[in-house]
Amino acid sequence: MVIKNPNNIVVPDYLNENFFVATLEEGLRAIQVTVNEITFEWATNPGDNYCSRIYRVAVAYERLVDADKPPAQEQRSLIVKSIPASKDTRFLEDLGVFLKEKITYLDVLPRLQVLVPCPKFAATCYYATKSPINTLVFSDLKSDGFRVAPRQDQLDWAHCELVLQQTARLHATSMILAQRDPDISKRLVDGMLCEKTMIKSDTYKQIFGTTLKHLANNAAEWPGFEKIAQKLHHFYDNFKSICAHLADHREGDRFVVMNHGDLTLLNIMYAYDDPKQPKKPTRAIFVDFQVNFCGSPGCDLNFFLNTSVQLDLLKERREDLINVYYKTLKETLEYLHYENIPTLEDLKYELRARELYGLFAMFGFLPIITMPKELSGDNSIETMINEEAVRLKYKKVFAQERLQAQLKYGLKRLESMGVLDEF
């Protein structure tokens, strides 16, 4: 068996022959697999993922298909996602992200997928193990023609339209599944913002509270934003108690769905199948279901709108984006004969009720997503909680005119709606 590591990346010892034999036998439901060659490379750019180590692994192997014939020679590309445990990632353990993602990929998503004829929601999960490190293995979406969109550019109309249609299908089918199997909702709780992690852990405030503090300090120097800056400082002073309840169920909620929980362009890939329009996406697919939860659809939608959409679309076509989502949600629920389909007004109620969730996304994720590559290469949990390193980094980040323009628009919009007086 040959192991290749052309770029000399750090690969843990447990990702060995036995691991990939177990992966392929489990994922392919194969009786006998012999691994001949393994080639490792990083699957993400430096700084684009700071909670997991994600490898792209090409595996050449042979497997017994027919007892009367020689083993079939095959090759497959896999994505290996390992989640090392440390004191700084303890909040992930508290959320149970490994078990949640395992349940979602192996149980929930396959049940959603069969409900409607639509593009796949996610990759196929081949294998999941807790020993020696929480690790999941998926099919490589790149092999199926998918790739990520440049994060710094954010998304144009064509990309947003696909994302919102696919999100609507995910949400709608989850409503059907919750009707048929109510226990699903009990297993998918505690998303990114919940009391369990916010009150117990300092990591969220160290990472996302820091961006809020920098935003407040910068806003204080923008003409006309002085009062907004004061409100943002108040949010920072009460960061844990506010964020702990932003995703809570509330009396008056109109409808509940399974939220992706981290719906940004970082967790979406696209296929471009039309050679005549090589820049227009034809399929969208989700990755990373670590923090999904059952709650208001306003959480996913506001998170996406406040992190991943180009500013001109937010200014000129926000209602059109919402209508794209609602049209597909309604059509999917009609196809599935769902009773009491939520109205467009119900959706708008949910969006308004979760605008603060979108504010968190704006200050917590937008600066990270739009961060230039020359500043993001060293992003990790460790560097994001290093006060001096972050101070120097965010001084440059918040100086960007494009980011400032999006933050100013978003804050003024929330201020005019009275959202900044709700905490």
Per-residue pLDDT reduced to its tens digit, 2-39: 999 999 999 999 999 999 999 999 999 998 999 999 99
Pairing of strands 53-63, 2-4: unpaired
Whether the model clears a pTM of 0.85, i.e. scores above it, the answer is yes
CB atoms within 10 A of CB 266: 20
Contact 379, 394 (CB under 8 A): no
Whether pLDDT at 378 is above 70: no
Token readout for 394 is 């965010």
Nearest to 1, CA basis, from 60, 51, 52:
60
Domain map (residue ranges) of the chain:
2-83, 145-421
| pLDDT of res. 44 | 83
The residue type of 231 is K
> From CA 375, how far away is CA 378, in angstroms rounded?
7
Whether pLDDT at 88 is above 70: no
Q: What's the whole-number mean pLDDT along residues 105-125?
A: 96
- Give phi and psi for 81, each to the nearest 5: -115, 110
Contact 286, 260 (CB under 8 A): yes
| pLDDT of res. 96 | 81
> From CA 390, how far away is CA 50, in angstroms rounded?
14
What pLDDT digit, counting tens, does each position of 274-315 carry? Answer: 999 999 999 999 999 999 999 999 999 999 999 999 999 999
Contact 182, 400 (CB under 8 A): no
| pLDDT of res. 221 | 96
The residue type of 41 is E
Whether pLDDT at 89 is above 80: no
Under the banding of pLDDT at 50, 70 and 90, the label for residue 187 is confident
> From CA 393, how far away is CA 401, in angstroms rounded?
15
Question: What residues contact residue 403 under an 8 Å CB cut-off, 6+ apart?
Answer: 366, 367, 370, 397
Nearest to 157, CA basis, from 329, 279, 328, 302:
279
What pLDDT digit, counting tens, does each position of 136-171 carry? Answer: 999 999 999 999 998 889 999 999 999 999 999 999
- 82-86 long-range contacts (CB < 8 A, ≥24 apart) are 82/12, 82/15, 82/52, 82/53, 82/54, 82/55, 82/133, 82/134, 82/135, 83/51, 83/52, 83/53, 83/133, 83/134, 83/135, 84/53, 84/133, 85/133, 85/134, 86/381
| pLDDT of res. 143 | 95
| pLDDT of res. 277 | 95
Question: What residues contact residue 68 under an 8 Å CB cut-off, 6+ apart?
Answer: none
> From CA 303, how far away is CA 354, in angstroms rounded?
9
Top pLDDT among 176 and 185 is at 176
Task: Report the CATH fold assignment for 145-421.
Answer: Aminoglycoside 3'-phosphotransferase; Chain: A, domain 2 (3.90.1200)
| pLDDT of res. 392 | 81
Question: What residues contact residue 283 under an 8 Å CB cut-off, 6+ apart?
Answer: 119, 145, 146, 162, 270, 271, 273
Whether pLDDT at 316 is above 90: yes
- The pLDDT > 70 percentage for the chain reads 94
Whether pLDDT at 175 is above 70: yes
> From CA 129, how far away is CA 51, in angstroms rounded?
17
Helix and strand numbers (H, E) in the chain are: 20, 11
Top pLDDT among 66 and 37 is at 37
Alpha-carbon distances of 270 from 41, 122, 134, 153, 194, rounded to whole Å: 21, 11, 27, 15, 30
Contact 141, 269 (CB under 8 A): yes
Under the banding of pLDDT at 50, 70 and 90, the label for residue 376 is confident
Under the banding of pLDDT at 50, 70 and 90, the label for residue 375 is confident
Q: What share of the chain is helix, strand, coil (3-state, %, to 5)?
A: 50, 15, 35
Whether pLDDT at 206 is above 60: yes
Mean pLDDT across the chain: 92
| pLDDT of res. 326 | 98
Nearest to 420, CA basis, from 235, 286, 283:
235
- Give phi and psi for 82, each to the nearest 5: -110, 145
